[in-house]
Amino acid sequence: MAFNRLSAGRVLRPLALVSLLTLAACSGEPQQGMEGMKVPVSVIQVQPQAAVVNTELPGRVQAIEDAEIRARVTGIVQSIDFEQGSTVKAGQLLFTIDPAPYKAARDQAAAQLKNAQASAHTARLLAQRYTALIKQHAVSQQDYDNAVAQARQAEAAVAAAQAALEAAQINLDYTRVTSPIDGRIGKALVTVGALVSATSATSLATVHRLDQVYVDITQPVAQIATLRRQMADGIVKPDANGDAKAEVLLEDGDTYRHSGKLLFSGVAVDPGTGQVNLRALFPNPEQILLPGLYVRVRLVQGVDQQALVIPEQAIQRTADGNSTVVLIKDGKAVFTPVQVGPRTEKGYIIYQGIQAGDQLMVEGFQKVRPGAPVQPMPWKAQGGQAGQGAGQPPAAGGQPGAEKPAGAEAPDSGKPAEGQAH
């Protein structure tokens, strides 16, 4: 029995060795072949083209005119004479405050004016008589001077009474609260029967003029300096029309149908934020832009006649926040850092890192790693437009997004890349 086991062991050892050598040969040949295969990727050739240079900035909508309706006399609100949320005209009655005490004050001032006018008439006649008598030496000089002074005092009393009557009439008019401007009124802030005060200037309502609106914008001073330097170097030229146009991007991503114009750019930099304030004016006939609304504003700043524009998805963002692209040189993938400029309709302008005629990878980043051999194929964008996804906002840090961070999913050196044949 021992002899049989020994014989069987001698026979199985050569067979096991042959099997191991066969498996090693089979596994080694495909691995060596896969390392030499080229990964198919989609590329474009970078060519200079004219591109409109614009920038997107945050903005806040402001009404072109705001009128806070406040109480100017103290009293009880008798009626609310408008429909809340409606459009009102300048001079339209909005509130009525109890006018009874102000009518009484007006009547009292009118009576005091009549009394002062009567006294002034008497004093004036006395002064006239004394003027004739003084020439005849029938009255003393002192009596004559007193009569003239009393006449003048009476005239002053008439003027004071007239002013008091006008003040009483103004207060009476203030009991009828009217709109100072054309616009749209909000809700009533008081109810009928409420006591309003002139001392605290009780707020009654607010009227906004909305046929046009302002959009207040903030822009980093570094962007302004870069644009001025590019214009000085002739890279960017002002728009042929000469107008600083502006467009509003709404919260849902749509572009507001009416374009506006930039009114001014601030001359001082906010030391706390390092930004400059700008203001644009937009027509608002449909009253879509409401005061306080947050929007994005696209400002057209010039035209770059020789811009290098690439699709947004061709830009990769590394872990340290820098932007890179993948160029095809000598049939291999070369990861190259770039300086990304403003966004256009077809993608992003690149200022440094690429040159005209370069082959640029647009799709297939997950399948390659730096230095990997690739097979370039023309890129076919959806809708026939270079710059697929250019309408999406940039990724965090102000740089465009990408399929994956550069090199994030490069295969291990000992494994076949995704999509390659085994």
What is the DSSP secondary-structure string of 23-86? Answer: HHHHHHHHHHHHHTPPEEEEEEE--EEEEEEEEEEEEEEEEEEEEEEE-SS-EEEEEE-S-TT-
Q: Is residue 422 part of a domain?
A: no
More confident residue, 4 or 206: 206
Within this chain, do residues 251 and 291 fall inside the same structural domain, yes or no? yes
Within this chain, do residues 90 and 180 fall inside the same structural domain, yes or no? yes
Q: Which amino acid is located at 81 in the chain?
A: D
Query: Does the pLDDT value for residue 413 go beyond 50?
Result: no
d(CA 173, CA 283): 35
Q: Is residue 266 part of a domain?
A: yes
Within this chain, do residues 77 and 195 fall inside the same structural domain, yes or no? yes
Tens of pLDDT, residues 251-290: 887 889 998 988 877 677 878 888 888 889 999 999 899 9
Considering its fold, how many domains does the chain have in total?
A: 4
Within this chain, do residues 389 and 321 fall inside the same structural domain, yes or no? yes
What CATH number does residue 169 fall under? 1.10.287.470
Within this chain, do residues 91 and 184 fall inside the same structural domain, yes or no? yes
Within this chain, do residues 296 and 310 fall inside the same structural domain, yes or no? no
Within this chain, do residues 79 and 163 fall inside the same structural domain, yes or no? no
The pLDDT of residue 419 is 36
In sequence order, what DSSP letters do the residues of 230-258 get, joined into one string? HHHTTSEE--TT---EEEEEPTTSPBPSS
What CATH number does residue 94 fall under? 2.40.50.100
Q: pLDDT band for position 235 (50/70/90)?
A: low
Span 159-183, average pLDDT: 96
Within this chain, do residues 220 and 338 fall inside the same structural domain, yes or no? no
Within this chain, do residues 92 and 182 fall inside the same structural domain, yes or no? yes
Tens of pLDDT, residues 366-401: 878 888 888 888 887 665 444 333 333 333 334 444
Least confident of 13-17, 69-73, 235-239, 291-295: 13-17
Q: Is residue 6 part of a domain?
A: no
Q: Is residue 412 part of a domain?
A: no
The pLDDT of residue 55 is 81
What range defines the domain where residue 86 resides?
72-98+175-201
Q: Is residue 310 part of a domain?
A: yes
Q: Is residue 185 part of a domain?
A: yes
Within this chain, do residues 222 and 293 fall inside the same structural domain, yes or no? yes
Span 159-184, average pLDDT: 96
The pLDDT of residue 189 is 96
CA 70 from centroid of its chain's CA atoms: 30
If DSSP codes are grouped into helix, strand and coil, which group holds residue 107? helix
The pLDDT of residue 230 is 61
CA 160 from centroid of its chain's CA atoms: 54
Within this chain, do residues 283 and 235 fall inside the same structural domain, yes or no? yes
What CATH number does residue 349 fall under? 2.40.420.20
Domain termination site, one of 305, 333, 353 = 305
Within this chain, do residues 78 and 197 fall inside the same structural domain, yes or no? yes
Tens of pLDDT, residues 300-357: 777 777 788 888 888 888 888 788 888 888 888 888 898 887 777 788 888 888 888 8
Span 181-192, average pLDDT: 95
Q: Is residue 20 part of a domain?
A: no
Tens of pLDDT, residues 135-158: 888 889 999 999 999 999 999 999
Query: Of all residues in the chain, what percent carry a pLDDT higher than 70?
Result: 76
CB 226 within 8 A of CB 243: no
Query: Does the pLDDT value for residue 112 go beyond 90?
Result: yes
Query: Does the pLDDT value for residue 3 go beyond 90?
Result: no
Q: Is residue 32 part of a domain?
A: no
What CATH number does residue 229 fall under? 2.40.30.170
